[in-house]
Copies of this chain bind each other. A is one copy, B any other.
Amino acid sequence: MAVLGLGAMGGSLARALSVLEPGVRVVGWSPREEERRAALDVGAVAAAPSDWQEAVAEADLVVLAAPLSASCDLFAGVAEATSSGATLSDVASLKAPVARAATSAGAEARWVGSHPMTGSEESGFAASRADLYEGARVWTVAHPAAEDRVPRVQSLWRALRARPESIDADEHDRLMALASHLPQLTSNALAAVLREGGVLPTRLGPGGADMTRLAASGSAMWRDIFEHASPELVAGLRALAREAAKVADLVEAGDLDGVEELMNATRAWSRPE
What is the interface of chain A, defined by CB distance below 8 A to chain B?
117-119, 136-137, 175, 178-180, 182-197, 199-201, 203-208, 210-219, 222-223, 226-227, 229, 232-234, 236-245, 247-248, 251-252, 254, 256, 259-260, 262-267, 269-272
Cα separation A245 to B227 with both chains bound (whole Å): 18
Q: A210-B213, A233-B251 are in contact. Are A195 and B244 (CB under 8 A)?
A: no
Cα separation A56 to B234 with both chains bound (whole Å): 56
Q: Indicate if the CB atoms of A178 and B205 lie closer than 8 Å.
A: no
Which one of B180, B205, B210, B252 lies within 8 Å of A137 (CB-CB)? Answer: B205
Taking CB atoms, residues of chain B closer than 8 Å to A205 are 117-119, 136-137, 179-180
Interface majority SS (helix, strand, loop, mixed), chain A? helix
Cα separation A197 to B187 with both chains bound (whole Å): 19
Q: Indicate if the CB atoms of B186 and A211 lie closer than 8 Å.
A: yes
Min distance, Cβ A175 to any Cβ of chain B, angstroms:
6
Q: A195-B266, A211-B183, A215-B266 are in contact. Are A251 and B229 (CB under 8 A)?
A: yes
- Copies of this chain in the oligomer: 2
Q: Indicate if the CB atoms of A188 and B247 lie closer than 8 Å.
A: yes
Taking CB atoms, residues of chain B closer than 8 Å to A243 are 189-190, 192-193
Most buried by B among A118, A182, A207, A272: A207
Q: Indicate if the CB atoms of B175 and A267 lie closer than 8 Å.
A: no
Taking CB atoms, residues of chain B closer than 8 Å to A195 are 265-266, 269
Taking CB atoms, residues of chain B closer than 8 Å to A237 are 244-245, 247-248, 251
Q: Indicate if the CB atoms of A216 and B259 lie closer than 8 Å.
A: no
Taking CB atoms, residues of chain B closer than 8 Å to A251 are 185, 226, 229, 233-234, 237
Cα separation A259 to B206 with both chains bound (whole Å): 26
Q: A117-B206, A271-B216 are in contact. Are A199 and B178 (CB under 8 A)?
A: yes
- A–B pairs, 8, beta carbons within 8 Å: A178-B194, A184-B207, A187-B211, A189-B244, A189-B247, A193-B236, A222-B260, A237-B244
